Structure 1
Amino acid sequence: MITLAIVGLVSGIITAISPCVLPVLPAILTSSIQDGATSRRRPIVVVAGLVTSFAFFTLLGGLLLSSLGLPDDLLRWAGIVILAIVGLGLAIPPLGELLQRPFERIRPLKMDRDGNGYVMGLALGLVFVPCAGPILASITVLAATNGISWGLVALTVSFSLGIAVPLLAFGLAGQAMGSRIKAVRTRLQGIRIASGVILIATAVVVATNVAEPLQRWVPSTLASIQETIEDNDSVRDELDVLTGREEAQPASGDALTFDQCEEGPPDQLQNCGPARDLPGIQEWLNTPEGQALDIDELTADGGVVLIDFWTYSCINCQRTFPYLTAWDERYRDDGLTIIGVHSPEFAFEKVVGNVEDATERYDIEYPVAIDNDFETWREWDQRFWPAHYLIDQEGVVRQVHYGEGRYEETEMLIQQLLDAAPQAAVEADTGGHTQGRTPETYLGYGRVAYAANLDDIRTNTPIQYFYDQELPRDQFAYQGEWTVNEEHALAGEEARLELYFYAADVHLVMAGEGEVRVTLLNDPEYERVVEVDGTSDLYDLFVGEPTQDIMILEFTPGIEAYAFTFG
């Protein structure tokens, strides 16, 4: 348990400096001046309120709501409303005085300085949605299934204290800056009003989910560190004991366990044992009349199934959606069925209407199974979000992957399984995937492999690139100004890419805002202008017959290019 407590503390620290903190970060940074003057104690009070409510309601919120028969998203909306009220009280002084009167005789809850700071912290704790890893997943699932124990309490407290460390540093940094800025001392009323506006804006941002694109754009450079800390063998064993997962179905015969498959070669089909059932599903989305799906029936008909465990507020899950939706569109007619099993991280994610809104927001058209009681989660010995399991036509799990990434390998294995099915042996010109097509191609230095000017790459800095040689097939070249980061390449002035491809469809995962002009070297009549609208998504560059050509892409500055995919 000591090991878990230490890992929980470190995991909490990493979580609090991840993209998940962005919606509440402005409120934390300005926490010391939201009563009109800089206060050294106030950041501590605000963070204490946040940690208190987060820890308490993560453990007991779902149980409390269900026992009282209250809506699952009540706590989240209560936090949003409280933030808005405190913000209005700061932004409109007469209203603030009116709101303060009921608390003037109750000193522990007095609504000024430290008092409203603690209340604000409590509200922030209700709307704070951390990125999920094995530690938080264990806390969430055990709490939701009434498995509360002293070990779980200790893990929750250590995780929450870890969250507090960076948030307190942010708050104290804001306090230090405020104390050194003369304008803060001379324009207290204006600062108070501005702070109230920030709180109101925070409430609106959380309520409308408008920060999600920004959270997805921020590189997940800490994800691999978090995975190393939380998902090593010793921590995994202790979590298994805490969650009862040590009783997970063992390997039998030639089959491997799910964990052994996940650790195996990602580009090879493996025998991970028979697929499990989907028990306890409350509702199905995106199926005819809400009809339930059965894995045995899907595979008996020669289909391939991909089970994807997700939850809609998880930023890590959101980053996988462009790939999942692209595979669904590309291979559904060939026999692939993707089933998104939605197992909620927080109580408000149990509301089916919220999940329906998320499927529309992310263009998810494949079937979604609502697993609010975690019965399917436990049946599959699940550990955290996202995770997927690829199942062949015999009902055998052939690939297991936890977390983001391995998109190229997964798509290649999907193709292998579909090619093995008689009904999937279709020609490319009938809508199937193109045999021998160019492989998925990454543009960030973390996974770049097919750049013709690979030796010229300089990481994380703007560089002018040139390439004047003959471009080999299945390779691309940077031209003009690019900043090649770990996960993507950022377009600068006169940024271009040249790509020698063979495929029927060419797509590019992009983010940012701007235009991409697409032309083909050997087809002067082909021109396409792609509008990148700020949404991190898969954009079509070419859709047609199997074609071999050199594609030229001209980017406006500010566009982030992640990976080419082909059909």
Structure 2
Amino acid sequence: MLTLAFIGLIGGLITGVSPCVLPMLPIIFFAGTTGRPEPLGKRAEGNVLVGERKRAARDWRPLRIIAGIVVSFSLFTLTGSVILSALGLPDDFLRWVGLIVLGLVGLGLIFPALGHLIERPFYRLPKINRKDSGAFVLGLGLGTLYVPCAGPVLAAITVAGATGHIGWRTVVLTISFAIGAALPLLVFASAGSRIAQRVKAYRDRARGFRIAGGVVMLVLAVALAFNITDVIQRALPSYTSGLEQRVAENKTVQGALAPAIGNASTELSKCTPGAAVLAQCGTAPAIQGTQQWFNSTPVTLSELKGKVVLIDFWAYSCINCQRATPHLLAWDTAYRGLGLQIIGIHSPEFAFEKDAGNLAAAIRSAGIRYPVAQDNNLATWTAYRNQYWPAKYLVDANGVVRSIKFGEGSYGQTENQLRELLTQAHPGLKLPAPVDGTVKADVAGKDLTPETYLGYSRSENLKGTGSLAPRKTATVFGLNAYQPNDTYSLGGNWIVGTQNVTSTAGSQARLNYNAAKVYHVLSGHGTVTVSIAGRPDRTITVNGTPNAYQIVDNPTVERDTVTLTYSPGVSAFTFSFG
């Protein structure tokens, strides 16, 4: 149980500092100003009330607000759908309740008389101090608006809530996740409360501070109601995605969350999520348990035999999914007429995402033209043993799953895989130039290095001495002392293959890249030493089938050169960038 609680807490903490939490921060900050105004008393020490300082030291409002968020988020994430269904209420009822609460609190800050009127019903509740009467209720309202970034922990919680399989493990995971996600919010709530207490000694300043807080809450209530905040969040880099990915790929985490995945389609476990090399992962499970289809009549995979199918699991309020959608739209435009069929499986994180009208509006707003199935009960999600939003499953023309990708990124890799499947399905097919994997811009407008292949069949940017002609004996290569931008060179002895190169004696590689993240697909058994000027060397242990190993992890995009030294017996496939 302690391991499960720790996993939930870590997952929550990562979420609590992610871009998805940003709209909540100004609300939480000004929430400390919502207390009942105190009458002015005698001043002391620089015009600050002596009593005010003492009250500030024991102000429990921030903790009550955060407690309300934890209770609300935990309760409604697990049982919201059941409660709404039992009461016959619409799926987005709780969200609108939260928006109304937020709007009323904002108006109460601007107009004190209205604020007293709103708080009056809570004065009669036992054991609640008048000054803090609305704090817990405000937290309850905010908990219905809190839409954290998707991750494996949240996915396990959501699946349990949607399918009704709620046991002690799920409860522990949910509460610990909610606490972890709320802790960063408590810092902002406490800061806002402290400042509010200090300015209360000055009537004019206190009035201005409260009005500012009220305006902020009203503006954000409108922005949240019309999803305007999504635009800002999409423009920000997903600076926590690397941490989320590490949590998702951790074997202890996967083992702890395994009961939420179930035993369906166990053959899918043969696919390593994010692997650059296509695999054979069993027949694709049927699309099942859907409520409604958009942009199409119901589609079955059996009728799509002969086509390459990309199944995308997403949720419309998920910022990670919103960032991925433009890539899907580009692939749909470029390859639909050449045998690609994209199918969106909308598997909601929260109750309000189950509303068909909300989903239809989101599809129109995003410009999605490919078929989308509504998977409100997560039946198809469960059949695919999915753990993430977004998640992509590539299915070949024979209906076999060949690749799985969890989360954002590696779009060039995914495009190259679907192009490979298209050419396998239709030999001689002439494809257009890649629309995503050649050059793409990150959020700062800098061009990332295109995906780089090391094997003979697809290598294009080798800039060093030596030939990539395939042979059974080792070929001698030479590193480039001044590696040109976005190229690589090999050094020492390598055995060249069609899809990879295998190290023998003194094998090295040098790569010039422009990216924040660099991944290297490797297989075999051995080590790779990563050397970047000005940084300590790092050694990676390679053990087993092809997998992506992260060799660079920077907070921002930068131009640099890395030199890699391989022990004998390691096969290198690709470099990819993010």
TM-score, normalising length: structure 2: 0.71
Does structure 2 retain, via aligned residues, the 8 Å contact 1:11–1:230?
Answer: no
Determine the structure 1 residue equivalent to 2:438: 439
Identity %: 43
Shift of 1:230: 3.9
- Aligned mate of 1:225, from 243, 249, 262: 243
- Aligned mate of 2:107, from 88, 91, 100: 88
Q: Secondary structure at the match of 1:305?
A: strand
Q: Which amino acid aligns with 1:21?
A: V
The alignment status of 1:194 with 2:212, answered yes or no, reads yes
Q: Which amino acid aligns with 2:15?
A: T
Q: How many pairs were matched up?
A: 448
The alignment status of 1:328 with 2:325, answered yes or no, reads no
Shift of 1:71: 0.9
The alignment status of 1:134 with 2:138, answered yes or no, reads no
Determine the structure 1 residue equivalent to 2:279: 270
Q: Alpha-carbon deviations, 1:226-272, whole Å to 9, x = none?
A: 2212431121112113x262x24333xxxxxx3442347x3322111
* Residues 3-18 of structure 1 aligned to structure 2 (within 5 Å): 3-18=3-18
Unaligned runs of 5+ in 1: 252-257, 455-468, 476-483, 489-562
The alignment status of 1:293 with 2:303, answered yes or no, reads no
Q: Computing the radius of gyration over CA atoms, which structure comes out larger, 1 or 2?
A: 2
- Aligned mate of 1:486, from 495, 499, 516: 516
The alignment status of 1:210 with 2:240, answered yes or no, reads no
Shift of 1:100: 3.5
Shift of 1:134: 0.9
Q: Secondary structure at the match of 1:338?
A: strand
Q: Alpha-carbon deviations, 1:400-419, whole Å to 9, x = none?
A: 11111111111011111212
Shift of 1:63: 1.0
Shift of 1:19: 0.9
Q: Alpha-carbon deviations, 1:131-176, whole Å to 9, x = none?
A: 1111111111111111111111111111111112111112123334
Q: Secondary structure at the match of 1:127?
A: coil
Q: Which amino acid aligns with 1:123?
A: G
Does structure 1 retain, via aligned residues, the 8 Å contact 2:34–2:105?
Answer: no
Q: Secondary structure at the match of 1:33?
A: coil
- State the distance in 2 between where 1:333 and 1:280 align: 29
Q: Which amino acid aligns with 2:62?
A: P
- State the distance in 2 between where 1:180 and 1:86 align: 21
- The Cα RMSD (Å) is 3.3
TM-score, normalising length: structure 1: 0.73
Over 3 Å counting, the alpha-carbon distance change for 1:351 and 1:263 in structure 2 is closer
* Residues 386-535 of structure 1 aligned to structure 2 (within 5 Å): 386-422=390-426, 425-427=428-430, 432-434=431-433, 439-441=438-440, 448=449, 486=516
Shift of 1:210: 0.3
Shift of 1:435: 8.5
Determine the structure 2 residue equivalent to 1:283: 292
Over 3 Å counting, the alpha-carbon distance change for 1:270 and 1:105 in structure 2 is closer
- State the distance in 2 between where 1:71 and 1:4 align: 33
Over 3 Å counting, the alpha-carbon distance change for 1:142 and 1:315 in structure 2 is same
Over 3 Å counting, the alpha-carbon distance change for 1:108 and 1:76 in structure 2 is farther
Determine the structure 2 residue equivalent to 1:522: none
Does structure 2 retain, via aligned residues, the 8 Å contact 1:90–1:195?
Answer: yes
Does structure 2 retain, via aligned residues, the 8 Å contact 1:89–1:96?
Answer: yes
Q: Which amino acid aligns with 2:266?
A: P
Does structure 2 retain, via aligned residues, the 8 Å contact 1:442–1:564?
Answer: no
Does structure 1 retain, via aligned residues, the 8 Å contact 2:123–2:133?
Answer: no
Does structure 1 retain, via aligned residues, the 8 Å contact 2:411–2:436?
Answer: no
- State the distance in 2 between where 1:161 and 1:250 align: 33
- State the distance in 2 between where 1:63 and 1:209 align: 25
Over 3 Å counting, the alpha-carbon distance change for 1:188 and 1:273 in structure 2 is same
Shift of 1:41: 2.0
Q: Alpha-carbon deviations, 1:483-517, whole Å to 9, x = none?
A: x87389xxxxxxxxxxxxxxxxxxxxxxxxxxxxx
Q: Which amino acid aligns with 1:314?
A: C
- State the distance in 2 between where 1:29 and 1:163 align: 16
Shift of 1:381: 1.2
Over 3 Å counting, the alpha-carbon distance change for 1:472 and 1:319 in structure 2 is closer
Over 3 Å counting, the alpha-carbon distance change for 1:89 and 1:261 in structure 2 is same
- State the distance in 2 between where 1:564 and 1:139 align: 31
Over 3 Å counting, the alpha-carbon distance change for 1:51 and 1:396 in structure 2 is same
Unaligned runs of 5+ in 2: 39-51, 453-460, 464-481, 489-513, 519-575
The alignment status of 1:249 with 2:265, answered yes or no, reads yes
Determine the structure 2 residue equivalent to 1:167: 185
Over 3 Å counting, the alpha-carbon distance change for 1:104 and 1:239 in structure 2 is closer
Determine the structure 2 residue equivalent to 1:59: 78
Does structure 2 retain, via aligned residues, the 8 Å contact 1:310–1:340?
Answer: yes
| Mean CA deviation greater in 115-124 or 331-340 | 115-124
Does structure 1 retain, via aligned residues, the 8 Å contact 2:517–2:577?
Answer: no
- State the distance in 2 between where 1:50 and 1:143 align: 18
Over 3 Å counting, the alpha-carbon distance change for 1:230 and 1:393 in structure 2 is closer
Over 3 Å counting, the alpha-carbon distance change for 1:271 and 1:183 in structure 2 is farther
